[in-house]
Amino acid sequence: MINLTRGLRRILRNPLMVVGLAGISTFMIVAVFGDLIQPYPEDSRGAVHIDEVLLPPSSQNLFGTTALGRDLFSLVVAGSRISLLTAAITASMILAIGVCLGLAAGFIGGWIEEVIMRISDLFLSFPSLLLAMAITAALGPNLRNAMIAVAITWWPSYCRLTRGEVLSLKRREFVESARAIGASPLRLMFRHILPNCFAPIFVAMMLDIGLIILTTSSLSFLGLGAQSPTPEWGLLITTGRTQFLTHWWVTTFPGLALFVVVLSFSLVGEGLREVLDPRMVRRGK
């Protein structure tokens, strides 16, 4: 187990990870306190101002306004909460499906493992975005179905990751000792094996959270995710793409918000991988 103080010291020595943590912290603060930050909260709920259409950035509208006269800064702030909730719910579904199936496949083995692995191979044989588009189109274009589609397409990688960790742990001495004193299979799986799989799963999820947000926004951009007037970043980008050359701010600011969030989670995920990788710790990196 990595000493907490040493881990924190390694984190603070990584400037890119500090930048990522700052970006994630800012994102979460904006998401939680968005109602207090938005100058025009009614705009994020669908208000229309015909006399303020496509105004450039100014002191009154920091990010300008949209084609319906809505304050873009308020919409971007409101979109941060949607992105945070979307990522949290989708990640929970991915982990619930992938980790449980991977745990069962690695620990039980036999025909159960074979069936689970072949199903995961089937899902992995399709490009994830194309499969998510097909599932969302079949279920119906809305944000809930987009989250379900992303979860369905992403669970196989976590299933395979968990299975690999379980296979390497289930014959270890501490598991054999627990089995020898009469621990039940469920106790072995959830008390002794699963906690020791947490580090690689957590690192993988931190690397993927930004991509989950990006994928969900991509579905909204294609008209398969969030629907108007929901202030989702991908939807904001697609509504302003036809006006980009003349009214650049409509797509630029939601795009920058999306870019910063995805980059921040990627930096933190890479930093955590360095901190939690025992081989790197032994080399003193």
pLDDT over 50 (residue 1): no
Classify residue 257 as exposed, middle or buried by CB count within 10 Å of its CB (0-12, 13-18, 19+). buried
pLDDT of residue 250: 93
- Averaged over 217-240, what is the pLDDT? 91
| Helix orientation angle between 143-169 and 72-108, rounded to the nearest 10 degrees | 40
Peptide bond into 41 cis (omega under 30): no
> Based on C-alpha coordinates, what's the Rg of the chain?
22
d(CA 234, CA 242) in angstroms, rounded, equals 14
Q: Tell me the C-alpha distance between 269 and 158, whole Å.
A: 15
CA angle 165, 170, 173 (to 5 degrees): 120
Mean per-residue pLDDT, 14-39: 90
Q: What are the pLDDT digits (tens) for 267-276? A: 998 888 877 7
Structure tokens at 194: 């699963």
CB neighbour burial string for 232-246, b if at least 16 within 10 angstroms, e if fewer:
bbbbbbbbbeeeeee
Mean pLDDT of the chain: 88
Q: How many CA atoms, within 13 angstroms, populate the side-chain half-sphere of residue 247?
A: 19
With bands split at pLDDT 50, 70 and 90, how would you rate the model's confidence at 74? Answer: very high
Q: What is the pLDDT of residues 92-137, one digit of tens each?
A: 999 999 999 999 999 998 899 999 999 999 999 988 899 999 999 9
Structural domains of the chain, ranges and CATH numbers in brackets: 11-41+56-283 (1.10.3720.10)
pTM score: 0.88
pLDDT higher than threshold 80 for residue 279: no
Which tokens is 125 given? 């044989």
